[in-house]
Structure 1
Amino acid sequence: MAKLLDAVLHTDGILTRMCEAMEQASQHAEYFRLAAELEALASSICEYAPMIVPGLLQTPGYTRALIRASRPFAGEELIEKHVASRRERAQLLDGPEPPEVWFIVHELVLSTSVGDAAVMHAQLAHVVELIEQHRVVVQVIPMSEGAHPLMDGPFRVMSFNDAPPVAYTESAYSGQLLDSPALVASYTKTYDLGRAAALSPDASLAMIRAAMEDFAA
């Protein structure tokens, strides 16, 4: 069926590749599985994160502390499975043709201590390194901004070379992949408004460095 749809829609095999990827064992939660597979095929990813460092940017120490906080009774094997899953996702930034990845985060992400000070320092240092290597762009919405266009919650917009863009929204234990052109256009417009409300990339980098140094004290 996927092959037939690819032929009719002239999607250059993207649906077939998606089905093949989904057939492989996945360590992702069921509601995020398709979004994760699309993430690996995207040519660009624009994501807003209001509370925690986005998964693609997380260090193992940060992920470990985050999962442990939300699952205090989980065994170490399950924790490490989540850590490995996020590290696997982050490898797309190291590929020969990585997607263009743009993040907007709220200042709360920089000041909320996940793990101890050493974990946060290493996490923010990792973000700084990715920015300085021109592998990602990060903008920060400062606390002083008050109300801003992205206050409805986290989301991402993924674009592809051979398929229409999609949006993805997520809550604690569920996620929704949206492909309606009108909805995706609305999320894209909201993200553009968020870029205008956020600090510039250079000013954002300076704020991230300052937060990193605060955790080194």
Structure 2
Amino acid sequence: MTEVDEDSPRRQFAEAVKAGRHDYPGGPLSQTALAEKIRCSKTSVSRLETTEDPVPPAIPGLLDQVFSTDGLFKELYKEILAGDFPKLYRRRMVLEPKASFIAEWSPTVVPGLLQTAGYAYRLFREGDQRASEQELARKVEQRIARQVVLESSSPPDLSVVICESVLRRTIGGSEVMREQLEALLVHIARPTTLLQVLPLDAGAHGLMDGSMSILTAPDVGMIAYTEGIKSGSIIDEPSAVQQLRRSYDVLTASALSRDASTRMIRKQLEAL
């Protein structure tokens, strides 16, 4: 069993589950009874309390409902996810669930917030040929868990621009790519999401060096995250972020409209 620090969010999560059972109205709640309420096995509850297993994405919300903890388990889960990411990415992972606006530009792959599990798996596998299946499964789970922000009762406004090459580059074979394109069509239909495709003939622009994200969150303002092949950086200096935001606005003006982007995705889907 992996050693977990006593003050880590994962340990706090485990202790909160135990406390919730012990203090449950009407008397202590057994692991079996809790398992029935959150629709899992007694063994799964036991492993939650001993930190042996990762926390499934659906569990925190169910625990908050059962124990009436007003989002405690959801917040701890966010901290667990942030801590699981390399240090470079942690600030972004902390800010992402709090963001009211997220902008994404990607010239190479579908952004993580919109990836399917199959697509993410192939990217992780190609990025680390020596990784075990367990390690890859954990990475995929972390990536997919981020998408809960888009399914909340108050999702952020999301603006995404992807290069046309992202649609044309087949990742993981036709079946994986077909599933991914179908997922993009679902996302593009959401009222809080604007997904645009930048045509290959759009010409030069100010964000050609790599992918970029801009997040706006309460009490933080606007920050940008830029990423290369093996590196990334957080930019929070106001004038630098504003310049990147301006470049992104120019990019959206050069990209296809929502309807035209939808048609291009459908056309590529039919070609697979």
Question: The TM-score by the shorter chain falls in which range?
Answer: 0.7 to 0.9
Give, in whole Å, the separation in 2 of the partners of 1:65 and 1:97.
Answer: 31
Cα deviation digits, residues 144-188 of structure 1 (max 9, x gap)? 213233212211111123332111111223221111010010011
> Where do residues 94-133 of structure 1 align in structure 2 (5 Å cutoff)?
94-133=151-190
> Where do residues 121-200 of structure 1 align in structure 2 (5 Å cutoff)?
121-200=178-257
Query: Is the CA contact (8 Å cut-off) linking 1:27 and 1:81 kept in structure 2?
Result: no
Task: Figure out how many residues of one structure are paired with residues of the other and give that number.
Answer: 198
TM-score by length of 2: 0.69
Give, in whole Å, the separation in 2 of the partners of 1:80 and 1:148.
Answer: 36
Larger Rg, first or second structure (1 or 2):
2
Q: Which residue of 1 aligns with 2:98?
A: 41
RCO greater where, 1 or 2, for CA within 8 Å and sep 6 or more?
1
Q: Which residue of 2 aligns with 1:78?
A: 135
Give, in whole Å, the separation in 2 of the partners of 1:55 and 1:32.
Answer: 13
Cα deviation digits, residues 102-142 of structure 1 (max 9, x gap)? 00000010011110100000001001011113242111111
What are structure 2's unaligned runs of at least 5 residues?
Answer: 1-74
Give, in whole Å, the separation in 2 of the partners of 1:66 and 1:163.
Answer: 31
Q: Which moved more, 1:53-62 or 1:167-176?
A: 167-176
Query: Is the CA contact (8 Å cut-off) linking 1:22 and 1:33 kept in structure 2?
Result: no
Task: Among all aligned residue pairs of Structure 1 and Structure 2, give the percentage whose two residues are the same amino acid.
Answer: 35
Give, in whole Å, the separation in 1 of the partners of 2:147 and 2:138.
Answer: 14
Q: Which residue of 2 aligns with 1:3?
A: none
Cα pair distance change 1:80/1:23, threshold 3 Å:
closer
Shift of 1:28: 1.6
Task: Kindly report the root-mean-square deviation, in angstroms, between the aligned alpha carbons of the 2 structures.
Answer: 1.9
Residue identity opposite 2:143 in structure 1: R
Q: Which residue of 1 aligns with 2:146?
A: 89
Residue identity opposite 2:85 in structure 1: H
What are structure 1's unaligned runs of at least 5 residues?
Answer: 1-17
